[in-house]
Structure 1
Amino acid sequence: MVIPDVGNHFFAVAMRGISTAAREAGYEVLLSSTEGDLTLERRAVELLAGKRVDGIVVAPVSTEETEHLERLEGQGIAVTLLDRPAPNVKAASFISVNHVEASTLAVNHLIDLGHQDIGIVSEALMPAGWEPDAPQEARNLRPSAARLVGYVNALRGAGIRYRDEYVARSAYAKAAAYEATRRLLRDNPQLTAVYCTDSELSAGAFAALQDLKISCPKDMSLIGFDDQDWATLVRPPTDGC
């Protein structure tokens, strides 16, 4: 199993499930964490292939620079892509949720509550030349980009104009999301809701709301993709935000 961050909650939970399923089938799992570095990913995959593993589960760093994964088929090694696509790895299985549709559902929930000015905290840029309702292209996007597309699709579907200034771009870290959320709300005081594209960013955004003395959900609605244990401990519970 080759993943970008062993400390990430999503990958940690996935690793637990994969390890359990493999063990029940008579296999064991070797783990490599690449820290999101493509060079480290290549090295890990080549090392595992050299050890003649039966299969590799990988969340690829890049959707395009995947020659090291494409070679595995010729070596008789099965490949499963976890959460992140790699279109050129033709023989691989791909396990993921529909990030565009799920994101659209999340933003539609805010729209149904009456929100028109909805900010988003995301690490992604809007894909160049993207056209709405393009499912084939959506399958080739990284999760963060696909979730941003879902946000845009929800706004367009409701007749709400997309505003680039409502997009707070953040590195994938709680501290970065905290600062991005503060900037977003400072520059756009008219916002009544914020959508975060994953749980790490949601934690930073929620902390920013607390420090700014903005009550959630009284003053600001907050919705985040994914879930973490901390989300069940806040008051009011997250189903109220």
Structure 2
Amino acid sequence: MENFVAPKRSVTVADVAKAAKVSKATAARVLGGYGVVSDKIRVQVMAAATALDYRPNELARSMTTGKSGIIGVVVGDIENAFFSLAVRGISDVARVAGFNVIIANSGEELDAEKSAVDLLIGKRVDGLIVTPSRCDRMEHLQDVRRVGVPLVLFDRSIPELGVDSVTGDDRDAAIAATRHLLEVGHRRIAYISALDADNDQITDSRQLSNSAVRERVEGFLSVLTDAGLKNAQHYVRLGATDQERTDAVLKRLLEEVSPPTALVASDSLIGLRLFRSLQSFGLSIPRDLSMISFLDADWTTVTTPPITVVDQPVYEMGKKAAERLISRLNGKELPVERATVKTSLIQRGSVAAPPPTAS
């Protein structure tokens, strides 16, 4: 017969109080991080907690203090290096400030985002950082405001929601990339996004539900329009959500009577898919097509040639979002802020003059 080993009993606040020779209320104040105690007592209690391997009961603490010590983060696609870097920035700031982070991935699906927000609110998170999958659907985010949970939007903004946001300078970044391509002689430039749509072409950029993509597309179009190029919108394509669909989007573009001579990838995942597509089609960068991608992802420096990129300081953006949220959680009265972080263009070998045969 096997010996039965009873599970070890969790160490309680009362156990710590007894070992530290203080009252349970005093031990609870020290362990919960609230109230006022002397430095001597604090050291005494923390030494006892360490000796006993005390682990705080987060649920009990949240019921006592009204705070969970947790920040909820909902991002669009954790596979995307952009969001991975952002989460690292958020987590680093949160840890230093004494907060834990719960991360949820929406996959850029509105229903998944709503479920994640509901779950995190149910977990009594102190605040939320959310990348909205659609900037035209905000009912669930309005609910977050109604229940009094501080909210910061990341990478995308919804001005009418009236909350803090941290974004890149998407319009200016697209303008810089497009101007660079014009300066080396390109006139047929395609902008390719993973934003899902029934049709891979757009009729009105104002209808794009992702504010970051909308601003990039509008910056892209403004440069081409100012240069006197007609029908620039024709070369804006959506739906590059996976490798197969990216292949199809690019194939349709290349089969046109006047195919593009340069590509702008809306993010690094799309950029990598386009690079693979061009390889599979037997095309060379930049001899056959030039390319610029958003985000200085690791892969962009190890390809042949290395890729010209819009360098987005994503880690700093994540830090800034967390700092803003934590300031609010610490009770600071702040006006609503739409923070914009500057980007820069890193020129590498993937951009050259269009081939002589392009007319």
Shift of 1:127: 6.8
1:202 paired to 2:278: no
1:160 matched to which residue of 2?
A: 229
By how many angstroms is 1:45 displaced? 1.6
* Separation in structure 2 between the aligned mates of residue 14 and residue 187 of structure 1, nearest angstrom: 38
CA 1:230 to 1:63, structure 2 compared with 1: closer, same or farther past 3 Å? Answer: same
Q: How many residues align?
A: 233
Matches within 5 A, 1:1-150: 1-90=73-162, 92-124=163-195, 126=202, 128=204, 142-150=211-219
Q: Quick check: 1:179 aligned with 2:252? A: no
Q: 1:227 to 1:126 in 2, by over 3 A?
A: farther
Identify the structure with bigger relative contact order (alpha carbons < 8 Å, sequence gap 6+).
2
Give 1:46 shift: 2.1
Please provide the CA RMSD for this pair.
2.3
Q: 1:188 to 1:203 in 2, by over 3 A?
A: farther
Contact persistence 1:66–1:88 (CA under 8 A): no
Please state how far the C-alpha of 1:129 moved relative to its aligned partner.
Answer: 7.6
Deviation (angstroms), 1:51? 2.6
Q: Distance in 1 between matches of 2:266 and 2:295?
A: 8
Question: Separation in 1 of the partners of 2:153 and 2:181?
Answer: 32
Q: 1:186, CA displacement in angstroms?
A: 1.9
The secondary structure found in structure 2 opposite 1:71 is helix
Structure with bigger gyration radius: 2
* Residue 68 of structure 1: how far off its partner (Å): 2.0
Which residue identity is paired with 1:70? Q
Structure 2 CA distance for aligned equivalents of residues 121 and 50 of structure 1? 38
Taking structure 1 as reference, are residues 185 and 49 closer, same or farther at Cα in structure 2, changes over 3 Å only? Answer: same
Tell me how far 1:126 sits from its aligned partner: 4.4
Alpha-carbon shift at residue 21 of structure 1 (Å): 0.7
**CA 1:40–1:210: 2 relative to 1, 3 Å:** closer
* Residue 284 of structure 2, aligned match among 204, 215, 219: 215
SS of equivalent residue, structure 1 residue 32: strand
- CA shift in 2, pair 1:127/1:30, >3 Å: farther
Deviation of 1:141 after TM superposition, in Å, equals 5.2
> Which moves more between the two structures, 5-14 or 171-180?
171-180
What is the CA–CA distance in structure 2 between the aligned matches of 1:188 and 1:147, rounded to whole Å? 26
Could you tell me whether the CA contact under 8 Å between 1:172 and 1:200 is conserved in 2? no
In structure 2, stretches of 5+ residues that fail to align are 1-72, 196-200, 308-347, 351-359
1:193 corresponds to 2:262 = yes
CA distance in 2, matches of 1:168, 1:75: 39
Greater alpha carbon shift after TM alignment, 17-26 vs 214-223? 214-223
More displaced, 167-176 or 199-208? Answer: 167-176
Displacement of 1:199 in angstroms is: 1.4
Report the equivalent of 2:349: 240
Q: Is the 8 A contact 2:134 2:210 kept in 1?
A: no
SS at match of 1:72: helix
In structure 2, the residue matched to 1:133 is: none
Q: TM-score with structure 2 length normalisation?
A: 0.60
Amino acid at match of 1:102: A
State the distance in 1 between where 2:166 and 2:203 align: 22
The offset of 1:163, in angstroms, is 3.7
- Is contact 1:155-1:162 (8 Å) kept? no
Deviation of 1:47 after TM superposition, in Å, equals 2.4
Specify whether residues 129 and 66 from structure 1 end up closer, same or farther in structure 2 by C-alpha distance, changes over 3 A only. closer
Cα deviation, residue 181, structure 1: 1.2
SS in 1 for 2:273: helix
3-state DSSP class of the match of 2:225? helix
Q: Which amino acid aligns with 2:276?
A: A
Tell me the TM-score normalized by structure 1.
Answer: 0.86
Cα pair 1:174 1:200 within 8 Å, conserved: no
Residues 126 and 148 in structure 1, CA contact (< 8 A), matched pair in contact too: no
Report Cα offsets for 1:14-68 as digits up to 9, x if no partner.
Answer: 1111011100111010111122232222222222223321110001122132122
Q: Aligned with 1:215: secondary structure?
A: coil
